[in-house]
Amino acid sequence: YVMSYEQKINEKTMVKLEAYLQEISRVPIDTAFNGTYSLLNTSGGIPTNVLENAGSGKNKGIELTIERFYAKDFYYLITASLFDSKYQNKNTIWNNTIYNNGFAGNILIGKEYKMKKNNSISLNIRYIGRGGNRYTPINLSESIKKSTTMLDNTQLYEAQYPNYWRLDFSISYKKNKTKSTWSYGADIQNVTDHQNIISNSYDNTNKNIKNSYAL
């Protein structure tokens, strides 16, 4: 279910507001009553669990988009979203999905500079920010006792990694010829080298929990 409102502020700028509710049925889940696996929390790989199409999911949120179309060698795009994402297995308890970040936003700004012979240089900068992914905390004492990762399934996807953000920058040079156009560019992601945590795991050698970071 989607409700949308769109308005042009002027000839160059548009604003769009959209609210939505998505209901998902027959989701592949673990056949066990207290099984924790759901396909809605999976980004890849082949599950080893025995599955059945008995799960549910629901997503709801509101999104804002502000876009200035390319004009006078300049453009920008701003998006913001607030949302809630839940899933349900055979025990009929609604839990957070791994992707229930809560919010997400994106700012993209670009400018083109004209040069001689109709050549140009384009500069673009993008900021991405969102809430961290959800995860099930590791039970450290039990993991140490059993020398392997033991999750605290009483807090299924209740914990959340720190907010994710990064700044990207790109530059390109376009050279126009009579019968062809050449473009040279560089795209640098995460120019500030911000360390975003994307997962954690139990380190049995050092008997502690270690974080893994995005590239």
* Two tokens, residue 64: 């804002």
C-alpha–C-alpha distance, residues 107 and 80, integer Å: 9
Q: Across residues 80-95, what is the average pLDDT?
A: 96
pLDDT of residue 110 exceeding 90 = yes
Question: pTM for the full model?
Answer: 0.87
pLDDT of residue 177 exceeding 90 = no
What percent helix, strand, coil does the chain show, rounded to 5? 5, 60, 35
Tell me the backbone φ, ψ of residue 80, rounded to 5 degrees: -145, 145
pLDDT of 43 reads 83
pLDDT of residue 189 exceeding 90 = yes
Q: Classify residue 87 by burial, with Cβ atoms within 10 Å: 0-12, 13-18, 19+.
A: buried
Q: Across residues 85-111, what is the average pLDDT?
A: 96
Residue type (1 letter), 55: G
Q: Across residues 141-168, what is the average pLDDT?
A: 95
pLDDT of 156 reads 94
pLDDT of 158 reads 96
